[in-house]
Amino acid sequence: MSTEFLNGLIAALFCVCYFYQFVYLLVPFIVKKRKKPEAAELKRYAVLISARNEEAVIGDLISSLKAQTYPAELLTVFVCADNCTDRTAEVAERAGAVVFERSDLRHIGKGYALSFLIRSIGEVYEPECFDGFFVFDADNILEPDYIERMNETFCEGYDIVTGYRNSKNYGDNWISAGYSLWFLRESQYLNRPRYLLGASAGVSGTGFMFSRKIIERTGGWKYFLLTEDIEFTIDSVIVGEKIGYCERAILYDEQPTDFKQSVRQRLRWARGYIQVFCNYGGGLLRGIFSKKFFSCYDMTMNILPSMFLSIASVILNLSTLLFNAADPAVWASVGLSMARAVLNVYLTFIVVGGATLLTEWKKIHASAAKKLLYLFTFPLFMLTYIPISVAALFINVEWKPIVHSRSRTLAEIKRE
């Protein structure tokens, strides 16, 4: 079989696997929004924040939590100052949080910090004290009605709910814009269609909550892989939990602007996807042949085929070139085939990114010129995932913190 044929086959498999996500683009315009409950019961929540050397930003998050429209007496903010060497604990306490300090250089990562924080809370508070737990990263900023809106969706009967993830620094450069547009797309054209269709949404790093029932079922926080959020999502879907989505609960977080830091973060994500599939792939595949068919299929597509089909394409084309190094005709044929593949991927992401940009335009806080410019760099950002995914197979990846330095209020974000 020729390389061109095999490249065509890989492209066809991409289409088969991900066609349903193009259908997702139409769902919000076809399926009516669900009616919200007239009066949601007010629940008591614990807010969980894992922070490692976050003195520059954690005060802003706690301030935005203190400014919520939700009754303050029903919200308690807890911070795990995780292996900190700065003033994170002091700043958090001064802002009004209950702080637990953790020092453990053997077990590194957000999953371990969350586990420690939940255990620490359990040693001080009665198990029934909190109805649910919110998880935020230290760099987050919330709209004033964030908790109120999430509580409404929680009261619809979901034990896990995720919100709308926006960006503090969309307009910084093509890297921050690439992340931001992807997360906006994930919110409105993955999680929103899932919610409207009655399927399970997915948790994405920060800005989610879960009920006390989840902690009772799992016996604490037990997710320690490199992508603990994806692990939590997949494990929940496998056991039949349906994750809700709240479009009106808007959160802003800071995206990396340095390419080296971005590569390091996405290496961790790529390796984490592999870890999750190795640990949960069997359960997902079995779920595809059960009543949980669609959600298990959906989550399988999100952690597996794209990465491995991309890697297969790279290996196929590079090996063809290496074994035919002296044949200009082969180089020309493979080069043309690869150029077509890259063009198709580029145009696909222009469509996906363009649809997101069009509908979310007013929610993106950047100049019109930057919004348009970074639409055309978005596919380039996504294409850099291909070499990162290949490298993740061979490089030993460890969890490392992302530096956050943008201290910004909600008003400052919206002025851009």
pLDDT per position as a tens digit, 193-251: 999 999 999 999 899 999 999 999 999 999 999 999 999 999 999 999 999 999 999 99
The mean per-residue pLDDT over the stretch 314-336 comes to: 80
Give the pLDDT score at 385.
92
User: Where does 33-256 sit in CATH, by number?
Assistant: 3.90.550.10
Count CB neighbours of 390 within 10 A: 17
Q: Is the pLDDT of residue 85 over 90?
A: yes
Across the chain, mean pLDDT equals 93
Which residues make Cβ contacts (< 8 Å) with residue 331, sequence separation at least 6? 321, 324
pLDDT above 80 for 116: yes
Alpha-helical segments (H) within 25-71: 27-30, 58-66
Range 279-285 average pLDDT: 94
Residue 400's SS3 state is coil
pLDDT at 61 over 80: yes
- Listed residue (169, 171, 181, 172) closest to 379, CA to CA: 181
Question: Would the pLDDT of 168 be above 80?
Answer: yes
37 pLDDT band, cuts 50/70/90, is low
Q: Is the model's pTM score more than 0.85? A: yes
Q: How far is CA 197 from the centre of its chain?
A: 20
Per-domain residue ranges for the chain?
3-25+283-392, 33-256
pLDDT at 142: 98
pLDDT of residue 60: 96
**Would you say 42 and 151 are in contact if contact means Cβ atoms under 8 Å apart?**
yes
Band of residue 39 on the pLDDT scale cut at 50, 70, 90: confident
Give the pLDDT mean for 77-106: 97
Residues 6+ apart with CB under 8 A from 204: 162, 165, 183, 186, 229
End-to-end CA distance of the chain: 54
Position 415 confidence tier, pLDDT thresholds 50, 70, 90: confident
What letter represents residue 71's amino acid?
A: P
Read off the pLDDT band of 123 (50, 70, 90).
Answer: very high
- Look at strands 243-253 and 141-142 and give their pairing: antiparallel
Q: Which pLDDT does position 331 carry in this prediction?
A: 80
Alpha carbon distance 274, 263 (integer Å): 17
pLDDT for 416 beyond 90:
no
Residues 86-98: what's their mean pLDDT?
A: 97
